[in-house]
Amino acid sequence: MRRGLNEILRVPAGALPGVIAPTIFMLGLAAVFGKAASLDEYQGVSFLAFILPVGMLQGAGFTGAATGVNLARDIERGWFDRMLLAPTPRPVLLAGFVASASLRALLPASFLLIVALALGVGWPGLLELSIAALLVMGLAAAMACYATLVALRFRTQQAAPLMQIGSFIAVLFTTAYAPRELLSGWLGAIADVNPVTHVLEGVRQGFVGDVTWAQTWPALLSVTALVLVLGALAVRGMRRQGL
C-alpha cells in the first residue's frame, strides 16, 4: 500500500490524469446539459450537484484502473516475480493494491468537491460527506480488484483500455445523467440491475437532499458485494497464475 501511495508523492504528475479527466467531464457536462435540470424530475436540484457524484465515482474508477495498469507494468518488468519469493499471503498482496487505490481515490473526489463548492453547490454536511467518501473508496477498491483481474489475465499494460472501459460502463450505465423516471426503457432496465446505481445514489443523496438509511444500506451492501466478489476473483486469478 505504501509503495502505491509513494508513487503519488514522488511523481505527483502521475495523479493528474485521474483528477483532470473527471473534472473536465463534470464541468463539461454541466455546461452542456445544465438546462436539463429545469425538468420537474430533477426536483429543483442543480445539474452540477446532480452530476458531482458521477465525477467522484469516475475518479474512483480511474484510480482503480491505474492500480491495474501499475500491476501490469510490474509484471512486465519482472518486479512482481520478486514478490513471489516473499512469504506474503496472496490476499494480503491484493489488499495492499486495493487499499492504496481506495486512499488515492480521495484525491480526485476532494478536488471535484472543491471545484463544485466553488461553483455554488451546497455544502452537504460531514455525515453526508463521510458516507460519500466511504462509498467512493469502496468503489475504487472494487475497480482495483477488477483491474487486477485484467492485469493478471493479460499481463501487459496494453490491457489498460479494457480496465478503464469497465469502470466507465459501470458508472455511466446508471442514473448518472438523469433521475430514474427520465431514463429510457433499456437504460432504466440496466440501471435497475447495475449495483453501481445504488452506490451512485448513496453518494448523491447528501448533495441533492437528506441522507436516509433507505438509500444508504443498499449502497453499502452493493459496494461491499462488489469488493468481495471481484476481490475473490482477483485472488483466484493470482493463484491460477502461480502467484
Partner 1 sequence: MRRSVVALARRALVNALRRPQFLAPLVLFPSLFLAINVGGLGATRQLEGFPVVDGFLDYQLAAAMVQSLLIGGVTAGIAAALDIEGGFFDRLVASPTPRIAIVLGRVLAASVIAFFQVVYFLVLGLVFGASIKGGVLGVACVLAIGVVAGTGFGAIGVLIALRARNASTVQGIFPLVFVVLFISSAFFPLDLLSAPADTIARYNPLSFIAEGLRQPIAFSNKAGPVIEGLLAAAGIAAVSIGLSLLALRGRLRRA
Summarize as ranges the residues that interact with partner 1 (CB under 8 A): 17, 20-21, 24-25, 27-36, 38-39, 41, 158, 161, 165, 168-169, 172-173, 176-178, 182-184, 186-187
Q: Write the burial class of residue 98 (CB in 10 Å: 0-12 exposed, 13-18 middle, 19+ buried).
A: buried
CA-to-CA dists, residue 138 to 36, 109, 165, angstroms: 30, 13, 18
DSSP annotation of 66: H
Radius of gyration of the chain (CA): 18
Q: Which of 70, 86, 76 is nearest to 4 (CA)?
A: 70
Nearer to partner 1, 1 or 182 (CB): 182
Least distance from C-beta 183 to partner 1, angstroms? 6
Phi, psi of 66 (to 5 degrees): -60, -35
Nearer to partner 1, 116 or 235 (CB): 116
Nearer to partner 1, 11 or 24 (CB): 24
Least distance from C-beta 113 to partner 1, angstroms? 20
CA distance from start to end of the chain: 18
Q: Write the burial class of residue 121 (CB in 10 Å: 0-12 exposed, 13-18 middle, 19+ buried).
A: buried
Least distance from C-beta 223 to partner 1, angstroms? 22
Least distance from C-beta 169 to partner 1, angstroms? 7
Nearer to partner 1, 125 or 161 (CB): 161
Instruction: Tally helices (H) and strands (E) across the chain.
Output: 11, 0
Least distance from C-beta 158 to partner 1, angstroms? 6
Nearer to partner 1, 186 or 213 (CB): 186
Which residue's C-alpha cell is 455546461? 31
Nearer to partner 1, 15 or 131 (CB): 15
